[in-house]
Amino acid sequence: MLSLRMVLAAALAGLFAAANGWCGDPTLAWRYPTGGQFRSIPAVGPDGTLYAASDDQYLYAIAPDGTVNWRSSLGWLPADCLAIGEDGTIYVGLQNDELVAVNPSGHQIWKFDAGAPIVGNPAVAPDGTIFIANDTGTLVALSLRGAVEWQLTLPAKCTLDPLLSGSETLYLGGADRRLYALTRWGSFRWSLPLDSAPAEAAVDADGSLFVMTEGGRLDHVDSQGDILWSKGVGPGAPSEVLIGKQGVLAATVDGVVRELDRSGLEVWRTSIGPAGRGSMVIGNGIVYALTADGVLHLLGQGGSTSGAVRVGSAGTVVASPAGGLIIGGRDWVVYAYAGVHESIDAPWGQPSGGARHSRLGGSAARTAGTAPLEVPDYLYFSTQLDLSSRSALMALLSESGRRIARGSAGKSTWYLERVVDTIVGVGLLSPIITGNTIVNDYPDVRASAADQLAKIGSLASRSILIRLLHYELEPTALSAEISALGAIGSDSDGAATRAIAAALRRSARFSADNGVGRAAVEALAAIAQYSGGMPDPSGTAALGFIYRGSYSPAVRATALEALERLAAM
Closest CA to 403 of 93, 71, 150, 211: 150
Bridge partners for 27 per DSSP? 338
Residues composing the chain: 569
In this structure, of 97-101, 371-375, 494-498, 531-535, the range with the lowest mean pLDDT score is: 371-375
Decide if pLDDT at 358 tops 60. no
Round to whole Å and give the CA distance between 456 and 401: 10
Average pLDDT score over the chain: 80
Contact 43, 357 (CB under 8 A): yes
In this structure, of 26-40, 103-117, 348-362, 378-392, the range with the lowest mean pLDDT score is: 348-362
* Preceding peptide of 235 cis, ω within 30°: yes
Same fold, 27-338 and 375-568: no
Decide if pLDDT at 286 tops 70. yes
Round to whole Å and give the CA distance between 160 and 463: 32
CA dist 80 → 6, 106, 120, 351 (Å): 26, 19, 6, 14
Domain 27-338 has CATH 2.50.20.10: no
Q: What are phi and psi of 186, to 5 degrees?
A: 100, 5
Decide if pLDDT at 123 tops 90. yes
Decide if pLDDT at 198 tops 80. yes
Q: What are phi and psi of 444, to 5 degrees?
A: -70, -30
Model confidence, pTM: 0.80
Decide if pLDDT at 497 tops 90. yes
Domain 375-568 adopts which CATH fold?
Answer: Leucine-rich Repeat Variant (1.25.10)
Round to whole Å and give the CA distance between 154 and 97: 18
Q: What is the mean pLDDT of residues 131-149?
A: 91
Every domain of the chain and the residues it spans: 27-338, 375-568
Confidence band of 342 (pLDDT split at 50, 70, 90): low
Q: What percent of the chain has pLDDT over 90?
A: 41
Provide the pLDDT for residue 427.
63
Strand order in the sheet with 188-193: 158-165, 169-174, 178-183, 188-193
Provide the pLDDT for residue 355.
47
